[in-house]
Amino acid sequence: MDNMDWGPLFLTFKLAFITTFLLFFIAVPLAFWLSQTRSKLKPIIETLVSMPLVLPPTVLGFYFLIAFSPSNRFGTWLDEWLGLQLVFSFGGLVLASIIYSLPFMVHPIQSGLQGLPTNLANASYVLGKSKWTTLLKVQLPNIKKSVLAGLVLSFAHTIGEFGVVLMIGGNIPGQTKVASIAIYDEVEALNYGAANFYSLVLFAITFAILLLVYTTNGGFFKRIWK
């Protein structure tokens, strides 16, 4: 235990925290738009958002790898004009994780917004409040459980990523080697003790988070997703 490398675990939770934080600010306006719009584009956007739920992670990881590769025009443009090298970098892991975990944040919040009485927002509009102010000060406070569901699911999902992070980030110690990659490496090396250590830590922390949520909110996931 004293000789264990804690780096992959620290990197995993750093990735999960950053991804969940950024994802919240992306998902809230998107979920709001999806809950309000009658645009013909809505089914297309909802399909794109939901794709990570059904696609193999390696498919997304492969296309991220191709798109961001320095040998690709887009990847070259990112490098030359913005100074971004997303392949085999922590920044690439964050971007890929945001896209891969997007439905886990968007769907609960969208569901919560759609379940609110319409007169709640209408009363705010009558008082002269903008849609943005209404969303932040009226609607979101009334769907706290939905927001919590999105945060918890996104955080837990990011912790468990493997295929996407392996494809876009590779296996660079201290930069892209998260716990799921470390477990795979240890199993390949027949070092089951280390693999068990990483697995047990991830299991215990995710179990504790979900147990706390279920204990304090009484099965809210079932109500959110029904």
Structural domains present in the chain: 7-225 (1.10.3720.10)
The C-alpha torsion from 156 through 26 and 31 to 140, rounded to 10°, is: 80
Predicted TM-score of the model (pTM): 0.88
Task: Kindly write down the DSSP assignment for every residue of 13-30, as one continuous string.
Answer: HHHHHHHHHHHHHHHHHH
Blockwise average pLDDT, block size 10, the chain, 226 residues: 79 96 96 93 94 89 86 78 82 92 94 89 86 90 89 91 88 91 92 92 88 67 48
Question: What b/e readout covers 171-198, taking b as 16+ CB neighbours within 10 angstroms?
Answer: beeebbbbbbbbbebbeeeeeeebbebb
The whole-number pLDDT of residue 224 equals 47
What pLDDT was estimated at residue 139? 92
Structure confidence at residue 218 (pLDDT): 56
Distance CA(155)–CA(140), nearest Å, equals 19
Whole-angstrom distance, CA of residue 18 vs CA of residue 25: 11
Question: What is the Cα gyration radius of the chain?
Answer: 20
